[in-house]
Amino acid sequence: MANRISIIVSSGSIEKLQMAAMVASVGAVSGNEVTVFVSMNALPVFRKGATAEAPSEGPVGRLLVEKKAPGYKQLFQQAIELGDAKIHPCSMAMDILGYRQQDIEDYVGAPMGLTKFLDHSAAGQVWTF
């Protein structure tokens, strides 16, 4: 029986984005149902054409880039392609930032409200980054 893993990503730092992506990809390829809820400062990273690098909190973030570790976007995409993972932007954050669905990366699903996400997450693990 697969587990349900729910991940809230609200930080825009490279370290937290990377850790969330690693949990999502490993969880998904291990046969778990993974739902990622992207909100607050993490959402701009998923905007189409976003070119700014996520800021680093410390030396590990800088080393992730320097040593060319697989990037968080690549890991999130792999979670979807290789397992049962879905990524949803927070509908409130979308409204606040003035984003429309077409502004967000194609691999990201439809916006979801926090109430629906929490209801969906009640039967499994919840991770926050």
Q: So what's the pLDDT on residue 57?
A: 94
Region 57-83: what's the mean pLDDT? 95
Residue 85: C-alpha distances to residues 4, 36, 63, 78, 95 (Å): 10, 8, 27, 9, 24
The per-residue pLDDT of the chain, averaged, comes to 95
Other C-beta atoms closer than 10 Å to the C-beta of 86 total 19
| Burial letters 33-66, b for 16+ CB under 10 A, else e | bbbbbbbbbbbebbbeeeeeebeeeeeebeebee
Domain 4-128: CATH superfamily is DsrEFH-like (3.40.1260.10)
At a CB cut-off of 8 Å and minimum separation 6, what does 22 contact?
75
- The pLDDT of 65-84, averaged and rounded, is 95
**How sure is the predictor about 1, in pLDDT bands with cuts at 50, 70 and 90?**
low
Q: What is the pLDDT of residue 50?
A: 85
Decide if pLDDT at 98 tops 90: yes
pTM of the complete model beyond 0.75: yes
21 burial (CB, 10 Å; 0-12 / 13-18 / 19+) is: buried
Question: For the chain, which residues make up each domain, given as ranges?
Answer: 4-128
Give the mean model confidence (pLDDT) for residues 55-66: 94
